Structure 1
């Protein structure tokens, strides 16, 4: 039986969502970092630092950067984990990881970051092999969120920690009005100007609006076994950091 899932405002077969998401990132990989910086007005740099603070990472840690993209979180984690640590960057898009490898080389952490192409919901990684899992703007793209959380829980060691950062809807009404206009009128146009295509940015705007509210994500994390599940809104709710721990 065909299983269906949300792709923005549409309901499509699960296999189609994987294919479409992969196509988006393969297309914009070369210009992804520039688009990320410009279209978030640089806020994502602040948000990533806050997420790293919530991770409580220690030297020597084994870290998984899931939905790693070009590896921003992987590079930050590699610096904290140090030469005795290990960071695995896992992403579905080879083109994104190729761009990430170049960044790791420029940051002189290539020997600490290992790149693995894979599906976040069906990882070919060993059970209980990581002290921490980071996900940057990735859980919204899971085909089935429940399955993705189960996989993250599986690869975490007892006592390990998940920190996931995701886009959300602003809390204040007037900011929300401006955000809606920006998302649907400006973002696709600006995204096409930078990357050559507007479709990934239209999907982004729609997917943020159909993604469950932070309270629902917190509840789901608890149901999937995460202790101390919590969320922290950033910049009036433009982004949210989710966190939880695996029981000892």
Structure 2
């Protein structure tokens, strides 16, 4: 139970830390609970989306839902995405890439990357019916977090432990943790209205494989920023798949 609480404390800015004091070692196992955290972040997003769409244009409601997740997570993953783009965009070798990603300042690659990410995210979901967009979020957020979390089973941590930005290096998943994560990422797919939309789940897997292969080649491992970037890009590919299926089956 403390490991689940640790995951909610780390991955959100909600006051779960008030419930109990969690020892530092429990934060090493939070990635296997990341998809479960997605159930909450997605649920709160969809509540705002559906409630907002009752009194506002659907596009505005979607923007408010996006802002809601940014507030809930403290832009944790988006910060990682910006650092990822800066590091791999501006770095010419392993040491330089890692140094740039650790720098707290955002560069041009990060700015352009975030603009493209948010723009595509908004366009993909805003062109879906509100009901389908909500179902896509309920499925896509936890599913993509679960897929992204598998990075720790494929790659080693790229930095020395004492150099970690969050001061926490994740432990590889045990068999039990792997199965728990698998259940938490697959169950939300039941929110999708038709079985054909399950095909969208293939794109995050492909995105994950390409990104982890790229990281292995460039820095021989992963960082926390890589985890956040992988989640957001996997989620974006999931919504791309949903949009393609919706458009082609009209």
Q: Same fold (TM over 0.5)?
A: no
* TM-score normalized with structure 2 length: 0.30
Name whichever structure is richer in strand by fraction: 1
Name whichever structure is richer in helix by fraction: 2
* TM-score normalized with structure 1 length: 0.31
